[in-house]
Structure 1
Amino acid sequence: MTAEVPSRRPVTIVVPVYDDLAGLLRCVEALMETVDVNVDRVLLCNDVGPHADEIEGRLLNLIRDRPGFEYVRNERNLGFVGNCNRAALELDRSGNDVLLLNSDTIPLPGFLDEMATVLASDDSFGVVCARSDNATIATMPYARRNPRSRATPERTTELHGVLRELLPRFTVAPVAMGFCFLIRREVIDRFGLFDHVFSPGYGEENDFCLRINRAGYQAVFANHALVLHTGSTSFSGDRGPALRLEHERILLRRYPFYASAVALFLGRVRDAVDVFADTFLPDDGVLRVALQLPAVIDEAAVARATAVLEAAPDDIVITLITGREQARVARRSFPTADLLVVGRPRQVFDVTVAFGAVTSFGGLSSLNANAPRWLLVDAIPHHRQWAEAVRHHRDAAIDRILRRFDDSSVDWSSPEDLIAAIRHVGSKPIDAERLRLRWNAVADMAEATGLLKHPDRVSVRRLVALALGARSPWLVTRLRAIRAARA
């Protein structure tokens, strides 16, 4: 018998209003189309921005005589944190759960029912957010096949439609994203809302999620709900970056484990379909391939990889992947090729080719992170002599794991044959359940062997860097650009 899901509670949608009239009107019009005012209500809170009177006139005209929509105007500007706190703690006396919804969002049909149902499904869920095209770790897709392409709301909407039923209904995360932030009313009654130290904004929702988590409440993503988010800039000049850096420093001082919690979520907790979302619906007519170079880049490896790069047709785009210790050799050997150093880049591929024997858990973990399909080239041979078996038992164990999850295994013969094998593997549909099994198995091994480490302390060096960055944001931007150029 299927367990009955508790009926969801009514919600007050709080829309903090400051500027961006065009975006605000789109948001309110979308709410008019998607919100059932017989169950839920909308509270528009004008925080007296630079065009407060014009915005007030347009809003009042738009919602005139419309039931379920209420408008209030603050006597003075309170900032985002103060505006949200006033709305949730003073103005809304309904007892409803509260959804803080940015005015630069476009909620899609069914979003509120889905989010509220997820919130009601577990008493430990304190906050729920939707998925979006622009919401940091709640973005879909988070990692893209082509990072040079522009993320669009249309792409996210199409992709979400394809993957909605493949994804779990919710995913527990370290924090929920503040653009669309549904909070259980009893949590607000118990803990209040945002800490004014984060005023006027940035980081307040992360602090709230981590604060209530100490009492056992969890933040979750409602994977079947979609809300598009423009993400307009709230602060001009250096003020925005300075606030971000300073508030990040406050977060890390309060919650030293926070950065590692996000890394753990991205590297282990997410559903595998979510990790490789962009590969389920290729949109550019090419096959994107990660060719993982061997641990030692010798002359034979250079010759073979060069031959494959030269033989690749226009519809097969190859990126070379190498370890940090071989990065300089790789750059010297392949000066014109696209090259990535092993890590967790914001890019995924359709196929990963293990070029040569994979003999380390690091190589195995890199394969797992890069693509949903594996092609092995010149895997470790089976040892018939016991002396060889003993000498290479660790390599053989890694190879058995590889073969359990590979999509094909070939011996090197020619670059043309390898291109044909790549095309064949890339044409296979992705088996979501098999992908999940592989993702979890390899991630478990990486953690058990100590390859993935998540310290519960933040370094003094990082705190100092954030403090300096808050004073000189331009310096942080410059240093990040230099680091990206070297990667």
Structure 2
Amino acid sequence: MQPDRAVRRDRPIVSVIIPTVSQATHLSACLAALQGTTDAAVGELDIVVVLNGATAAVRDVARATPGIRLVDSAVNRGFAGGCRLGMRASTAPLVVFLNDDVVVTPGWLAPLLETVASIPQAAAVGVRVLDVSGVVQEIGSVIWSDGSTRPLGRGQPSASSAWRWRRRVDYCSACALLVRRAAWDEVGGFDEGYHPAYYEDVDFGLALAAAGHEVWVDPRSTVVHAESASSSLPFKQFLFERQRARLVARWGAALTSCLAPPRRPEEIDAVCRAAVDRLAGPGPRVLLLDDRVPRHGLGSGFDRMADALLDLAASGARVRCLPTQAPGEYVPPLAAAGVSVVTADSAAQLQEHLAASDVVIASRPNNAALLMAAREQLAPEARPVLIYDAEALYHRRLERQAALSDPALGLLLRAQAAEWLDRERLIAGCSDAVVCVSHDEAAFFRHHGAGAVHVVTPWLRQPSLTDATLRGRADIGFVAGWMAGAGSPNADALEWFAGEVLPRVARVLPWIRLRVTGTLPEPLRRLEGPRLRVEGFVNDLAGFYRQLRVAVAPIRFGAGVKLKTVEALQYGVPVVATGVGAEGLDEDVAAAITVHDDPEPFAEALVRLLTDAGAWRAQRTAIEQVMATHRPAAGAWPAVLATVLTERERADVHHAL
């Protein structure tokens, strides 16, 4: 080994080691991407390029690249040997091994650093690897008992949510792998016996496990890999078989704890899931059925369910989400928490998911009905616990809408309300537990036979009080979701407010403006104008609320606690709401809200808060007093889960439809 060039690095956090032989074009793209994605939290990367018996073209590319260090070996020492040379030339406590045919993407490093910082036992962390066409090559891999391997997610399109959650795995490809130096030193690093390439990362994963360490994959980090750019397919297949034999000779005893490879193609998914599950820990297996994958900013109750999933995952539960009305969606905060997204294209697949669960949470009555029908097809001993998440009473929402509608539509809505009432009564009797957002709705479920009913007020995790100052606050805000379309409670609320309330406010305050989040359904876009501004999707809600003088919740029909009301209070913004917009909250919380159902007093309350600094500060003080005693209960859903499982152990009761 001959040091070729030195570049000063003052205590680097991360070194990137790139062995290279003959792919000059790939190396150039690799280095350009690395230097173009510097992470501010890490600073400048310590990039070490190992000229591993490299060609003249490769040497020219490396020497023309500023800001890197070169290590020169006259002979090709193989991938493991090249990595070991680079390791000896670096000093950072964290090292990323990178193939020269890999291109990193923006933001690739931060998730890996977060994972090693939050999971002490994670000695190595891999990434999501795509090929040059955008198809998944690997999101972590499985080792089978015969020493063969299976890359998870292989062949999936880039947008797929399959296997796209942070988790422990048997090993990850060393084409892009972050490693703790201390763990590397402890197990001796990559074994040069796997010369020239392949299986050194498999061997390394087994060595780490034998020493009590773990390998994780974080799919929030993505790289693009020109797979096998440095070797032909026949030679690669020859090496795979030779290196697998070496692995089995060394790790035969350890491989007995791995699962046997699937024998038929139709078994692959199930056996891969089982292989991953064996590493997932002992926490209860929780499956959520909801219309779509919950995430913050969607509205329609999905914010509170996203919080619930994060809390359950943090408590050690193994959480999966099955969307029933929309395709599976990748949500980075859920993926980081280890929440997986699964699909069921048939009743049989849904039953498989149920049988692989200890607890199933059904949110919304349509999903509860789907779940109960599938659950009844399982043997009693195989049925999971059923928790119904009553984010609102749907029959009550329809009854209220009927009261505001013309006679013909009202008659139809009342008939639908009666059907939903029957469904919700059935759910009450068939669920092992029900979670409600208010005591009022909890009373309904108790009355109709629900055994265990829990009330979890939907205080959200993310919001916190904005500055208690009037400077920069001028507007009225309506934070709403529009997925339910032009016939939704939010649409009716905006129509009523824009037609009945806003003109009354504007007569006194001609400069006033209502700012509405989201994208309005087509029939409502006629409302846009100088006094009604549509913001689109707002990424920074805290910044948005910081500009509001008042928030409104002019809901005239609906049920449950309105998250827009709760959220505005948590951000410290005074709220004017209808009775429906403020319902379901504890008395002391409701006292911090101005409530009017008629447009004239509603408008007068807004004018007072918009012009009277004393009135605004008095309501802000009332909100602060409420927030001092009402905070998000991070352990609320885990406590419900623990209680339900304890009750299940005491009495194994299965409800029949």
TM-score by length of 2: 0.38
CA distance in 1, matches of 2:63, 2:375: 71
Counterpart position of 2:52: 47
Query: How far apart are residue 268 of structure 1 and its match?
Result: 5.2
Residue 136 (structure 1) aligned with residue 138 (structure 2): yes
Distance change in 2, residues 1:123/1:269 (3 Å): closer
State how 1:161-310 maps to structure 2 within 5 Å. Answer: 167=165, 170-253=166-249, 254=251, 255-257=254-256, 259-260=258-259, 264-267=274-277, 269=279
Counterpart position of 2:345: 351
Distance change in 2, residues 1:30/1:192 (3 Å): same
The alignment's C-alpha RMSD in Å is 5.0
Aligned partner (choices 114, 117, 138) of residue 117 of structure 1: 114
Deviations 1:451-477 (CA, angstroms, capped at 9, x unpaired): xxxxxxxxxxxxxxxxxxxxxxxxxxx
CA distance in 2, matches of 1:38, 1:362: 44
Tell me if structure 1 keeps the 8 A contact 2:140–2:171.
no
Counterpart position of 1:33: 36
Counterpart position of 1:20: 23
Distance change in 2, residues 1:219/1:236 (3 Å): same
The letter for the 1-side match of 2:127 is: A
Tell me if structure 2 keeps the 8 A contact 1:354–1:376.
no
Tell me if structure 2 keeps the 8 A contact 1:14–1:43.
yes
The 3-state SS of whatever aligns with 2:255 is coil
CA distance in 1, matches of 2:273, 2:349: 28
Aligned residue pair count: 304
The answer for unaligned runs of 5 or more in structure 2 is 1-10, 131-135, 142-150, 261-271, 295-340, 360-366, 390-482, 485-636, 645-657
The letter for the 2-side match of 1:78 is: R
State how 1:415-434 maps to structure 2 within 5 Å. Answer: none
Tell me if structure 1 keeps the 8 A contact 2:80–2:200.
yes
Tell me if structure 2 keeps the 8 A contact 1:252–1:259.
no
Counterpart position of 1:333: none
Counterpart position of 1:99: 96
Tell me if structure 1 keeps the 8 A contact 2:84–2:190.
yes
CA distance in 2, matches of 1:396, 1:124: 39
Query: How far apart are residue 348 of structure 1 and its match?
Result: 7.2
CA distance in 1, matches of 2:121, 2:349: 46
The 3-state SS of whatever aligns with 1:132 is strand
More helix by share: 1
Tell me if structure 2 keeps the 8 A contact 1:130–1:223.
yes
Counterpart position of 2:124: 127
Query: How far apart are residue 270 of structure 1 and its match?
Result: 6.2
Query: How far apart are residue 119 of structure 1 and its match?
Result: 1.8
Query: How far apart are residue 32 of structure 1 and its match?
Result: 0.7
CA distance in 2, matches of 1:269, 1:199: 30
CA distance in 2, matches of 1:273, 1:27: 41
Distance change in 2, residues 1:151/1:47 (3 Å): farther
CA distance in 2, matches of 1:362, 1:349: 9
The letter for the 2-side match of 1:116 is: L
Deviations 1:26-73 (CA, angstroms, capped at 9, x unpaired): 211110111358453101112235xx1012112322x1xx33x11233
Deviations 1:365-424 (CA, angstroms, capped at 9, x unpaired): 59x9xxxx895797697xxxxxxxxxx9x834445x397799xxxxxxxxxxxxxxxxxx
Counterpart position of 2:394: none
Q: Give identity over the alignment, percent.
A: 21
Tell me if structure 1 keeps the 8 A contact 2:27–2:101.
yes
State how 1:38-77 maps to structure 2 within 5 Å. Answer: 38-49=43-54, 52-61=55-64, 63=65, 66-67=66-67, 69-77=68-76
Query: How far apart are residue 85 of structure 1 and its match?
Result: 1.4
State how 1:391-470 maps to structure 2 within 5 Å. Answer: 395-398=379-382, 401=384
Query: How far apart are residue 234 of structure 1 and its match?
Result: 3.4
The 3-state SS of whatever aligns with 2:259 is helix
Tell me if structure 2 keeps the 8 A contact 1:143–1:348.
no
Distance change in 2, residues 1:238/1:31 (3 Å): same
State how 1:306-385 maps to structure 2 within 5 Å. Answer: 349-354=343-348, 364=355, 375=370
Tell me if structure 1 keeps the 8 A contact 2:97–2:176.
yes
CA distance in 1, matches of 2:129, 2:387: 34
The 3-state SS of whatever aligns with 1:86 is helix
The 3-state SS of whatever aligns with 2:69 is strand
CA distance in 2, matches of 1:180, 1:95: 17
Tell me if structure 1 keeps the 8 A contact 2:137–2:153.
no
The 3-state SS of whatever aligns with 2:379 is helix
CA distance in 2, matches of 1:265, 1:193: 25
CA distance in 2, matches of 1:248, 1:263: 23
The letter for the 2-side match of 1:124 is: Q
CA distance in 1, matches of 2:343, 2:53: 47
Deviations 1:256-302 (CA, angstroms, capped at 9, x unpaired): 2364297644355569999x9xx969xxxxxxxxxxxxxxxxxxxxx
Distance change in 2, residues 1:221/1:273 (3 Å): farther
Query: Which structure's relative contact order is higher, taking Cα pairs within 8 Å and 6+ residues apart?
Result: 1
Distance change in 2, residues 1:380/1:225 (3 Å): closer
The 3-state SS of whatever aligns with 1:260 is coil
The 3-state SS of whatever aligns with 1:202 is coil
The answer for unaligned runs of 5 or more in structure 1 is 1-7, 282-346, 382-391, 407-426, 429-433, 442-487
The letter for the 2-side match of 1:203 is: Y
The 3-state SS of whatever aligns with 2:57 is helix
The 3-state SS of whatever aligns with 1:177 is coil
Deviations 1:99-154 (CA, angstroms, capped at 9, x unpaired): 10111212122322331232233432211122222443428x9448xx6xx745xx
CA distance in 1, matches of 2:286, 2:27: 33
CA distance in 2, matches of 1:120, 1:378: 44
Query: How far apart are residue 350 of structure 1 and its match?
Result: 4.8
Deviations 1:69-112 (CA, angstroms, capped at 9, x unpaired): 112331111111211111113x22x2442210111212122322
Tell me if structure 2 keeps the 8 A contact 1:9–1:120.
no
